[in-house]
Amino acid sequence: MSRAMLSPRAYLAHLSIYAAAAAAAVLLAPLFGSETVSLPRVLSGFSALDNMDAEIFFRFRLPRVILAFVAGGALSLSGASLQVVLKNPLAEPFVLGIAGAGALGAACAMSIPGLLWRMGPFTTVGFFSLAGSLAVTGLILRLLSRRAALSMSTVLLAGVTINFLCGAAILLVRYLVSPQVLVAMDRWMMGGLDVVGFGDLLPVLLLLLPGVALLLLQSRSLNQLAFGEALAFGHGVDVVSVRRMVFLGTGLAAAAVVSVAGPIGFVGLIVPHVVRRLSGVDQRLVLPASFFAGGAFLIFCDLIARTVVAPTEMPVGIVTAVAGGPVFLRILFKNGGTHD
């Protein structure tokens, strides 16, 4: 049987392995860090008010690990979808300018005196970042609605251009702010998963889950689109609608991640390629498997960020950049810009 299509039994076997690996990562990663916690003491934490192990596990580590899982899963799922729609193996969520606009929004919120506030899980930094990311998503959808035959290369170049423009604007903001604000701004822009308690996950899930659902619903259509637009159209696929749904889903998911964790690059690039190498190119499997594998990958990267320079920690964006840079170059030189 072709690796492009899997039997139901093979599909379940492959997906179960990815899901089990993700579950193991979510359950085990909170046990490790600058301070190792004991699992038996964690499990007895419900009846012990002074149980520090349970406090560290449930209040600090587990929410952070869950954020890493949903963020990494959303970025990887978005990357897997974009690589089919844009027909480019180097495509990932941030090539559309979503990260650049989100980073610019956050930089503006940090730089305006008196603007920083927090209401429950919501902050002005997250709100401005979310507004910037969604503005770019709306712009892309507007372009697609006004010109159905818009080249995907044009969309890709538009995203790269938006990222350059936002980068230039961020440099201007950095030049104007005080050194104290500059430190916080640079820290945020390196990407981080600093959350305390489960309440901080709410802003992410409100947009991330609908975005993920939109992308997963496109798996069968993307299977047809992967073999060419003409063939997909001949099989009854509304190519323009699928593109819009993929861009909308990517925009919602990536905007949610950026608004809370900052720009974390390369996750959406690395993981889908690994999944396709291991399990073939059936998008019905690639999309959910990329979500599970991407979540586990970012959990692992965050674990490295939390432990390699303990008792301090480095931004997780540094770890993903170090891992993703060589992979990006390898794909670039091996594929020469063609889809793998």
HEC secondary structure over 77-94:
HHHHHHHHHCCCCCCCHH
Position of tokens 């432990």? 307
285-314 pLDDT tens trace: 999 999 999 999 999 999 999 888 877 888
Q: Is 312 helix (H, G, I), strand (E, B) or coil?
A: coil
Indicate whether 267 pLDDT > 90: yes
Q: Is 230 exposed, middle or buried (0-12, 13-18, 19+ CB in 10 A)?
A: exposed
Question: What are 122's strand-pairing partners?
Answer: 119
C-alpha distances (whole Å) from 324 to each of 67, 71, 86, 232 are 20, 16, 20, 32
Instruction: Give the span between the Cα atoms of 280 and 184, in whole angstroms.
Output: 42
Residue 179 in contact with residue 302, Cβ under 8 Å? no
| Average pLDDT rounded to a whole number, residues 183-200 | 84
The CATH H-level (homologous superfamily) assignment of domain 8-335 is: ABC transporter involved in vitamin B12 uptake, BtuC (1.10.3470.10)
39-83 pLDDT tens trace: 777 777 655 556 788 888 888 899 999 999 999 999 999 999 999
Instruction: Give the span between the Cα atoms of 73 and 22, in whole angstroms.
Output: 10
Instruction: Give the span between the Cα atoms of 47 and 50, in whole angstroms.
Output: 9
Looking at residue 235, what is its pLDDT?
81
